[in-house]
Amino acid sequence: MSERRRPATRQGRPLWMFLPGGVLTLLVIVVPLAVALYISLLDLDQYSIREWVGADFIAFDNYVEAVRDSHLVHAIGISLGYSALVSLACVPLGLAAAIATQDRFRGRGLVRSILLIPYVLPAFVVGSTWRIIFQPDGIANRVLGTDGLWLNGPRSFWALVLVQLWSGWPLVYLLAAAGLQSVDASVHEAAALDGAGWWAKLRYVVLPQLRGPVSLALVISFLHNVNSFTLPFVLFGVPSPVDVEVLPVLTYVESFQNFEFGLSVAMAVISLVLVAIPMAVYLRAVRLDTGRERGSR
């Protein structure tokens, strides 16, 4: 009696082994996303939320209103601008800290732990602390000898950049330090035998090895900053100043202050598309979607 062949993937695994993961993905990701997409097509507000299934279907009017009549485009510009600025500024700080703490020295573990403190602190604590620092009679104005406002007006944008940079750069440090641990010591020895100095080894040996971890840190940092809600919310409150009106806070205001639930969900869907683009580019670049690095067979 011949054995019946069952469907299998190219790696030879039977398809039924993916069933638990598929069901979990369906329940946790696909169903909520489908509900969100449906709500974004409804005229849903505080008067129709109890019978939201029967709310008026208005197709893409919420998306049109979000782009044409709300602050969405401005918020997207603020979010993308400060996120890219912070992510790029994190790279030299993180690399410098990782390289400085690579070699063994007395107290290296303590120094590494201290460097990670800004990253592990809750965003609420970070925002509250810096809010006190940026008060008109706070430490910032006393140290700089200024008397301007940091939590309102044009300076608020740079206050947000500074605080987000302070709390976010250890991520680059952490991934770069992990990448440095994977560099083979024999490569350093071979470069030294060839007469390479410190700068030459850094440029031609160390930095190429860190391209992957730093790229991953850039993508994660950018996505984290674009989606950051707690820190801007605590630092500036709502309604936030127009210079720091980021997309997550604007979505929150439309949903829980203006009670325009359909409009806010449409904004959330647009933000999802925005964060999906850099992630898709990165996954395509490193081939994480196939589990194989570029160039591997």
Residues 127 and 107: their CA atoms lie apart, in Å, by: 30
pTM, full prediction: 0.83
Length of the chain, in residues: 297
Contacts 24+ apart (CB under 8 A), 61-64: 62/262, 62/263, 62/265, 62/266, 63/266, 63/269, 63/270
Which of 170, 199, 182, 177 minimizes the C-alpha distance to 93? 170
Summarize pLDDT for 230-267 with one digit per residue, the tens. Answer: 999 999 988 888 999 999 999 999 998 899 999 999 99
Summarize pLDDT for 148-189 with one digit per residue, the tens. Answer: 889 988 889 999 999 999 999 999 999 999 988 877 777 777
Residues 42 and 44: their CA atoms lie apart, in Å, by: 5
Which of 256, 231, 259 minimizes the C-alpha distance to 246? 231
Residue 260 dihedral angles phi and psi, to the nearest 5°? -95, 80
**Mean per-residue pLDDT of the chain:** 86
Q: Say whether 42 sits in a helix, a strand or coil.
A: strand
The tokens for 188 are 């350093």
Summarize pLDDT for 9-61 with one digit per residue, the tens. Answer: 666 677 778 888 889 999 999 999 999 999 999 998 888 887 877 788 999 99
Which of 189, 242, 218, 197 minimizes the C-alpha distance to 71? 242
pLDDT value at residue 47: 85
